[in-house]
Copies of this chain bind each other. A is one copy, B any other.
Amino acid sequence: MGKNLTKRSEDYSKWYNELVVKADLAENSAVRGCMVIKPYGFAIWEKMQAELDRMFKETGHQNAYFPLFVPKSLFEAEEKNAEGFAKECAVVTHYRLKTDPDNEGKLIVDPEAKLQEELVVRPTSEAIIWNTYKGWIQSYRDLPLLINQWANVVRWEMRTRLFLRTAEFLWQEGHTAHATKEEAVAEADLMNNVYATFVENFLAVPVIKGLKTESERFAGADETFCIEALMQDGKALQAGTSHFLGQNFAKAFDVKFATKEGKQEHVWATSWGVSTRLMGALIMTHSDDQGLVLPPNLAPYQVVIVPIYRNQEQLDAISQVANEIVNDLRLHNVTVKFDDRDTHKPGWKFNEYELKGVPLRIGIGPKDLEKRTVELARRDTLTKEFVAKEDVVDTVVQLLKDIQENLYNKAKAYRDTHITEVQNFDEFKDILESKGGFISAHWDGTAETENKIKELTKATIRCIPLDNPKEDGSCVYSGAPSTQRVLFAKAY
């Protein structure tokens, strides 16, 4: 019984596309570039949301909701931001359809219902939010303003891939306002750390915290903090970004506050976001040729119990044991599903839950009843063991911890062995093609060199790591003096 899944070594990209669909995570829709997130995929996203939301609130943020649409005149107020997103904006121009006079039953846009001002479907919400903040901020007493929004956004990408790059995606965007530059920088750094903690502890994906170069920054930001992860094919993936926006939006929207001393000053801003793209990082980091591998902290159900039986009598006896285990596990906050459907055979179910990445599978057959044991199978190592019934709960609780750790450690080992220091451009190109991963190299700090390297190799500067040691050297491309290495990679 096969899963008909392309092997990673054959075609990593095809493997990913197939896996997302076969594991019931998402699929392409009738709308170009927009995806349908299926219940199993959405359940994982809900778990991400719940934990992130808890972390945001714990750090003093509140949720709110701002309009989907941005009037063109507001959209263009912050020039760099507008320039950055104008090329990929869905634009609403009309507010009504009418029956086609030439073709009854068909609808056409009603030319009489043209909007006076076009509306941009938000690609990000700085413009509409800062226009709103103008009314909310008068005095230092109104600061800091710490707000987050869970929303859908639209960026008309030409080449789309499920979760990784879609025209519409789900995300959260934090937007904060502060009295001082120092506070705003600290907030941007704090939220980047929140993302790093979340991604490492929940997705079990190790990340490198760093700063973007000027050309890779968010349009409208003075500084972009980021977390960068490495996928199994040696390509990097930006898993989250947090921006120090300076006073750019405050100036564009004239948002000032009275200081304690009564002076009028522009406020300082940050914004930060993670999206359904994290689903892509999760899938690509851990999964294998058998299908999805989910870390227990995000699995919709952590354990599945499959009964193996020939007749109703056997099923009844197995169900009794299974239900005891279900109850015990739930008391220990383990999420568990007992799949006693008679429409599918045990072999089919084993296959299905392997494909869907359920961390632990418990099989119970007539022989197990006799011996008072169950068969416990780990998805991450594909190993099995028999466990005495009375030890099941303790074993499961321990194994779920072990699996979460093992996935992280495995991904970290891969990542750590795929950061290669190079001394010259030949080595650079050689490593990039033969091994991939992050390439740690000296860079002269100019956008010109950065662009040239990108043009020649498709590798971009993923980040300047925050914990970078200072080291004298010369640029891998231009030979000009440099004081630190930066991380290059091909990226999603």
Contacts and interface: CB of A to CB of B under 8 A. Distances in A.
A96 to B, nearest CB: 6
B29 A66 contact: yes
Nearest to A105: B79
A30 B128 contact: yes
Q: Which one of A35, A66, A88, A135 has the highest number of Cβ atoms from chain B below 10 Å of its Cβ?
A: A66
Interface in A110-153: 118-121, 128, 131-132, 135, 141, 147, 151-152
Contact of A97 (B30, B45, B89): B89
A76 interface: yes
Interface string A6-40: 00000000000000000000010111001111110
Contacts of A94: 90-91, 93
A307 to B, nearest CB: 18
Contacts of A454: none
A272 interface: no
Interface stretch (A57-65, A201-209, A382-390): A57-65
Contacts of A46: 63
A312 to B, nearest CB: 19
Contacts of A36: 64-67, 132
B109 A97 contact: no
Given A34-B69, A97-B120, A64 B92 contact: no
A418 interface: no
Given A30-B131, A68-B168, A107-B72, A95 B86 contact: no
Nearest to A82: B107
Nearest to A119: B31
Copy number of this protein in the oligomer? 2
Contacts of A121: 68, 92, 121
A64 B37 contact: yes
A39 B120 CA distance: 24
B156 A95 contact: yes
A336 interface: no
Interface in A361-399: none
Contact of A65 (B37, B88, B109): B37
A151 B121 CA distance: 15
B31 A343 contact: no
A350 interface: no
Contact of A91 (B34, B38, B93): B93
Given A74-B30, A95-B91, A119-B90, A170 B65 contact: yes
29 contacts: A27-B132, A30-B128, A30-B132, A31-B67, A31-B69, A31-B128, A34-B68, A36-B67, A36-B132, A39-B147, A42-B62, A42-B63, A67-B168, A68-B154, A69-B90, A72-B97, A86-B97, A87-B96, A88-B95, A89-B97, A90-B94, A91-B93, A91-B95, A91-B96, A91-B97, A91-B109, A96-B156, A97-B120, A152-B152
Interface of A: 27, 29-31, 34-39, 42-43, 45-46, 62-72, 74-76, 79, 82, 86-99, 105-107, 109, 118-121, 128, 131-132, 135, 141, 147, 151-152, 154, 156, 168, 170, 343
